[in-house]
Structure formats: structure tokens, C-alpha cells
Amino acid sequence: MDISVVVPLFNEAESLPELYEWIDRVMRKEGFSYEIIFVDDGSTDNSWEVITTLHNEHPEIKAIRFQRNYGKSPALQSAFQKTKGEVVITMDADLQDNPDEIPELYRMIKEDNYQLVSGWKKKRYDPLTKTLPTKLFNATARAFSGIPLHDFNCGLKAYQKNVTKHIEIYNDMHRWIPFLVKNAGFKKIGEKEVQHQARKYGASKFGIDRFFNGYLDLFTLWFLSKFGKKPMHFFGLVGTLMFLISFFALLAVGGIKLYALQKGISAPLITNMPYFYIAITGMIIGTQLFLAGFIGELITRNSPERNHYKISEELE
């Protein structure tokens, strides 16, 4: 099979028939063999009934239905486990992603040997309150990940099949799929400028909270990529530095007191000096950070996945 199209959705009943017809028209024109996997993420409208009708009429349509709304990341992860196409295309169900982009995305994967191609909606039909935070969001992502993409969170993406089998998308990590792909060892990540369609039906399902959560997820992903298998390198280093700085600060406080006693200068008790308590607190926190790193190492060493490495090829 040439292409698997994965479409996560939540309350998009109105757009589904039109989306299927558009995808089918493109596939037939290009002569692709394909499947469409709809993932109903706990819709409360009649999206599942529409999908069931389409499935009964068109055998290339497959579907997954969640019992409740889990989010886009679980929807993608569930579908990726079932894809059979050599190239996997993801797109949103709201008709803002253009299926006419599929042939070129497919070509970039098959002929240019990209492992991931991410869409870039250079011209967007979104309000300023959404586009400005998005630009800041993407600039931060480029700085943290080192991947020169303009639009990390574009729903329209193309993957080599093996990429989708080697990444795990959880929580809200769908925003950072290029970063996940890079961390999984796939380096050839490209970008294609794609057409952004104005929303035709319904309303956006995402609020302003996604930007705050997105930054927290980005920091988590960055931290795990750097120190996930070696937590002592972070906590141990920071804890040791904090302990040593605080220890020498404590020695300095004691030295000042001894100097004052030798010179017969009146000086307050060490325990009456705020610097004494600051230094003690710093030593305690430094020790706790060091122990956190040590405990993290023990957990990592006993993890069943401590020697789980992604192997792309093997000769025997």
C-alpha cells in the first residue's frame, strides 16, 4: 500500500464526507493505493455515525473510536500502530489542511528520502491572537530542538512508515513530533510550504492554555532527551555546585567571625546572621538534588528499557 492517511477528529461530523471525497479524488488522480484511518477522539456529535456510513460504503476507510476524549496525541499513537502504507500522512479533519498537498509530500518522502516532512502554513487564516503566540512558540521550539522548521505544530505531515513505528506520542507531545522524531534518531527532517484553508465548519477545539502547556511539554522533552538516561549528570552537577558554593559561603561567614574575635571587634553571633541560614539552606538543597540524581540513576539502572535501543538495520 502506498499511503496511509491518519485523521484524528473531535466533533467534525459536517466536514468528514467532504474530506473523504477530496482525499479520494486526489488518490484516484495520482493512482495511489491508500487507506484512511479516522480516529474519533470521543466526539459528542454524530461523527461516529458519519464515519460508520462512510466505512460501509468505502472499504479503504478504517476507524478507531475512543470511549472519551483523550487528546490528539493518543489518537495519533493509536493510528500509527495500525498503518500499512509506505508513507503515512497526517491531517486534521476540519478541512484546513489541503489534501492536494499529498502527492508532493509523498514524493519528498519516496524520492528525496526525507524521513519526516512537516507542513508550513506560511499564510494563515487565523486571528492575530493565534498567529502571534504561534510565531513565538515556533521560535522557542527551534532554539530548544535545533530543527529549523517554521511550523512545528502543523497537522499536515508526511512520514516514512518506520518513523511512525519508532516514536511514542503521549500526553500533548503531538506539538513536538519533529523533536520526538529527531530524538528517535531520524535526522532527515524537511519542510514544505502548504496551503492553509479557512475553517468551513465548526470552531477550533484548542484554547489559549495549549501555549502554556506546550512550553512545559517542550522543556520536559528537552530535559528527557538530554538527561533521561543519565539524571545524575544534571541533578548531581547542580547539587554538587550548590553544596560547594554554600559550604564555602558558610566557611566565609565563620572566617569573618573568627577574624572579628582575633581583632577584638564586636560581631554578631553566627546564628544571628542571615547568611548563615542561607548557606545552610543551600547545602541542604544541594544535598537533596544530589540524592535526587542518585535515586534517578537507581531507577534508570533498574528500568526494563535501560538497554532498549532503536536499531534501524542489522546484518548477521
Q: Is residue 229 over pLDDT 90?
A: no
pLDDT of the residue at 244: 95
Calculate mean pLDDT across residues 287-312.
74
CA-to-CA distance for 123 and 197, rounded, in angstroms?
9
CA-to-CA distance for 173 and 222, rounded, in angstroms?
12
pLDDT tens per residue across span 9-68 = 999 999 999 999 999 999 999 999 999 999 999 999 999 999 999 999 999 999 999 999
pLDDT tens per residue across span 66-92 = 999 999 999 999 999 999 999 999 999
pLDDT tens per residue across span 126-181 = 666 666 777 888 888 898 888 999 998 899 999 999 999 999 898 888 988 999 99
193 close to 101: Cβ distance less than 8 angstroms:
no
Residue 74 in grid coordinates: 493518543
Q: For 62, which DSSP code? A: E
115 close to 88: Cβ distance less than 8 angstroms:
no
Rg of the chain taking only CA atoms, in angstroms: 27
CA-to-CA distance for 76 and 89, rounded, in angstroms?
11
Q: Is residue 209 over pLDDT 70?
A: no
Give the DSSP H or E segment for 281: helix 274-301
Q: 212 burial class (0-12, 13-18, 19+ CB within 10 angstroms)?
A: exposed
pLDDT tens per residue across span 90-141 = 999 999 899 999 999 999 999 999 999 999 988 776 666 666 777 888 888 8
Give the DSSP H or E segment for 239: helix 232-262
Q: Is residue 315 over pLDDT 50?
A: no
The residue with greater pLDDT, 247 or 231, is 247
pLDDT of the residue at 131: 67
Q: Is residue 301 over pLDDT 50?
A: yes
- Spatial CA neighbour of 19 closest among 94, 119, 75: 94
Calculate mean pLDDT across residues 270-288.
89
> What is the pTM for the complete model shown?
0.76
Compute CA distances 276 → 83, 244, 249, 269, whole Å.
62, 14, 8, 10
pLDDT of the residue at 227: 80
The residue with greater pLDDT, 210 or 105, is 105
pLDDT of the residue at 125: 63
Which residues are 191's β-sheet partners?
118
